Chains A and B, each alone.
Chain A
Amino acid sequence: MVESKNGNGRKRVDENRRTTIKILALAAMLSAVDVTVMDRDVFKSMLKKVGLNDILGEESKFSHPEYGTSLEARARRKEEELKRLCMDAAEIICEDKGEGSTECSLAREKCSKIHVKATPPQKGKKYAMALDVDKCIGCRRCEYACVMENNTPWNMGMDWITVLEVSREGVAELQDAKKDYISAPKPGKVYVPVACQHCEDPPCVHVCPVVATWKDEDGIVLIDYDRCIGCKYCVVACPYGARRFNLVKPKLEPVKLNPNMHIHGNIIRPVHVVEKCTWCVQRTRDGGVPACVEACPVGARVFGDLNDPESPIRQVIDEYGVFVLKPETGTKPKFFYFFGGAQTPRRGEEGGE
């Protein structure tokens, strides 16, 4: 605005000033447009207060993909492809160990049994899981069962469950937890297994740029492995560190394979996609319980339908009251922790470590 050395300087200054004002006005208008482009309902829901009674969840407000003939057809295609790949791998094993060996016959049997399901969520169900921190002995058998059930990539050493060892004394902060403890259970410690919390308001679902992950009607947060672009934004957004990324191509091992697969669950994942706990969707949607619940030697895990007053999860909530991890994040997890009272004896108490 100081350019007034030349003859018509006055006029130029005016022009510039007018332009500036015009620009600022239009910039303001454009930024207003940016906000209104967003769906009004979506905007309102962003400002919604967190209700106290959110344990009995609301209707899912996220769009979820179609379960139907197209997904079924995709599952069939995947099944064919996996069977072929599995048989190829099985042939190698058979050549290696001999035609009559147990590995060979086991591999072939598992390959022929591969079945990829595309089961839709059951109407009216709302799953939740609870874990008795008093009972848990930190044995990590749930982790092992999870890996076996879900065909988790062996060549990456990946696991969906992280078991934390937290001190019983003082204020228990997650920051003081230990992940790589060697012996358990120890006196004065509690063990907190953490996996996907299947939140009511999952940040991972909010941030996914291509809607490759969503919360289903039965409360399970799932991932479409054929849609994931591998941007890892959901890994960044998850407050529980529950999501994992396939940094290498998962190796198919016929002997260790679990042939009972779900297309959004434990199917063999492609390279460079995100995966996480699915509450064993291949089991629970057929009326079963997740593998970790079944494998827990002390019965610390409880799984059930929140809408069913008779379900074990409702009894736990009524009887003990439950708490969630990191409530300050506002994600409203559907994975609860509770103190059942009856402590499993620690190693030290039974006569030394």
Chain B
Amino acid sequence: MASKDGVRGAIDTLVYIFREGLGGPRSYKMLLAGLTIMAIYGIYLWVFVQHAPVFLGSDNGGLIMTGVNENVPWGLYISFFTFWVGIAASAVIFSFAAYVFGDKGFKRIVAFAEAQAVAALIITVWGIVANLGHPERALLLMPLLPNKRSMLDWDFIVIFTYMILNAIAFVYTIHVYRKQRKLPYKFIVVYMIISTPFAIGIHTVTAWIFHALTARPALNTALLAPRFIATAFASGPALILLILYILEWSTGWFRVDLAVYKKTLNVIIIALTTGLFFTLAEVHEAFWYTTEPLKKQQLIETFLGGHYPLLTTLTWLWIAFGVAAVLLGILPPMRNSKSSIALISLLTVIGVVAEKTLATILPGFIINPLGLPSDYTITPMEIFVGVGIHATVFLLLVILIRAYLVTVKRLGVDVF
């Protein structure tokens, strides 16, 4: 792909991205510094405190410092993983609109979706690694894919492939725009053909990690993967719209057509409605007649409440915010201004964060396979390590976005 310019061109572009991304006004540098501090603190906690027995061989520390226990083996880290995988998968909506349907407005912003996908996938991988007992062994064993029946191995393939594809697309886009050229048609075709199945694939495989386990009846539903994709296609575009809205407000010169907002809003509304419908279908299955006792117990815990109120709160937060976003989104006056669309996007993101994180995985864990109630307390360690992971990745995202914006501003010709 970069054959004309060779490896040197690619390296040049990478250097360019980081040079442009790191420079900027004072307030921007303050933002970078703040994110760096949070990132370093989070990584420090992870390496030197939480995983100290593994990395340093010390006697103290360990995953006991997180809320994870024998009944809730996966907690906040895996929650991030499920949520951000969805965000990454939704980049395909923008590349479809831009490259397949050839929408000019979307061509301008598709690079944001690619950058967001790269960032999101780094969070997902890091979320898994932070939750791993022995990351150093995983690095040796996972690339060999020893067990092809394990969905984690398949997840490893699809996530890394999709991450690399999006990184290539983003860097190449900047590379081409920097030279004041259009993206070559050949590249677009090849990229779309390879990346589209992987976009759906990452989220499907992620749902399949949970759904084929008879041990966790609340997750053991074939609707899990469709539900994941539906909410992913709502939250990902919503997050992009929020980013665009913030960029328009903060840069002062960057403008996106209202048409782009409107079209994206349509996708959000359709995806949200589908997601809510899937939730309704699950409620019907569990409560209308009878079902497996353990499943019923887990879903009662999820929807009606029990010993773990946080789960019920999050579930109803999703339903309330989801319904609110859909209702507001179909009102004509709300569809005609960027700020109201941004508001709907915010509602969507909050609703899906509530649903996709703890409310997705905890129903399977909060009543353990033997029917005993179990607890999960989020600890400060988990929160700080999580914040650190997010800060690191947002740092990268901010740098990528700035590099793209600078490139677009310098464009002398219309390349879209």
Contacts and interface: CB of A to CB of B under 8 A. Distances in A.
A247 B101 contact: no
Interface string B153-177: 1001000000000000000000000
B251 to A, nearest CB: 27
B147 A229 contact: no
Chain B CB count within 10 A is highest, among A19, A164, A273, for A19
Contacts of B3: none
Contacts of A239: 214-215, 369
A231 B131 contact: yes
Contact of B73 (A26, A227, A236, A326): A236
A203 B212 CA distance: 10
B133 interface: yes
Contacts of A78: none
B221 interface: no
A39 B197 contact: no
Contacts of B14: none
Contact of A211 (B128, B132, B147, B188): B147
B127 to A, nearest CB: 12
Nearest to A206: B149
A245 B63 contact: yes
Interface stretch (B83-91, B138-146, B305-313, B382-390): B138-146
Contacts of A235: 70, 73
Nearest to A232: B73
B1 interface: no
B370 A164 contact: yes
Given A31-B197, A227-B141, A179 B372 contact: yes
B370 A19 contact: no
Interface stretch (A104-112, A128-136, A168-176, A283-291): A168-176
Contacts of B216: 236
Contact of A271 (B54, B101, B149, B293): B54
Interface in A217-273: 227-233, 235-241, 243-249, 251, 271-273
Residue of B70, B99, B100, B131 with highest tally of chain A CB at under 10 A? B70
B152 A231 contact: yes
B100 A20 contact: yes
A39 B145 CA distance: 14
Contact of A23 (B152, B192, B209): B192
B96 to A, nearest CB: 9
A235 B64 CA distance: 16
B371 interface: yes
A73 interface: no
A208 B150 contact: yes
A164 B371 CA distance: 10
Nearest to A247: B64
Contact of A236 (B53, B64, B74): B74
A23 B100 contact: yes
Contact of B101 (A16, A246, A248, A272): A16
Interface in B183-227: 188-189, 192-194, 196-197, 201, 209-210, 213-216
Interface residues of B, number: 65
Interface residues of A, number: 65
A203 B194 CA distance: 32
Contacts of B99: 19
B294 interface: yes
A47 interface: no
Contacts of A37: 148
B73 A228 contact: no
Given A177-B371, A179-B372, A231-B152, A19 B141 contact: no
A176 B367 CA distance: 12
Contacts of B297: 175
Contacts of A249: 53, 59-60, 62
Interface in A1-51: 1, 3, 12, 16, 19-20, 22-23, 26-27, 30-31, 34, 37-39, 42
A232 B66 CA distance: 14
Interface in A264-313: 271-273
Contacts of A326: 369
Contact of A248 (B53, B104, B368): B53
Contacts of B192: 19, 23
| CB-based closest 4 A-B pairs | A230-B133, A272-B133, A175-B371, A232-B73
Given A211-B147, A238-B215, A329-B215, 11 more contacts: A3-B102, A22-B189, A23-B189, A30-B194, A174-B293, A175-B367, A203-B213, A232-B68, A245-B133, A247-B68, A331-B214
14 contacts: A16-B102, A34-B201, A42-B148, A42-B149, A174-B371, A175-B367, A207-B150, A209-B146, A232-B68, A233-B209, A236-B213, A247-B63, A248-B61, A251-B59
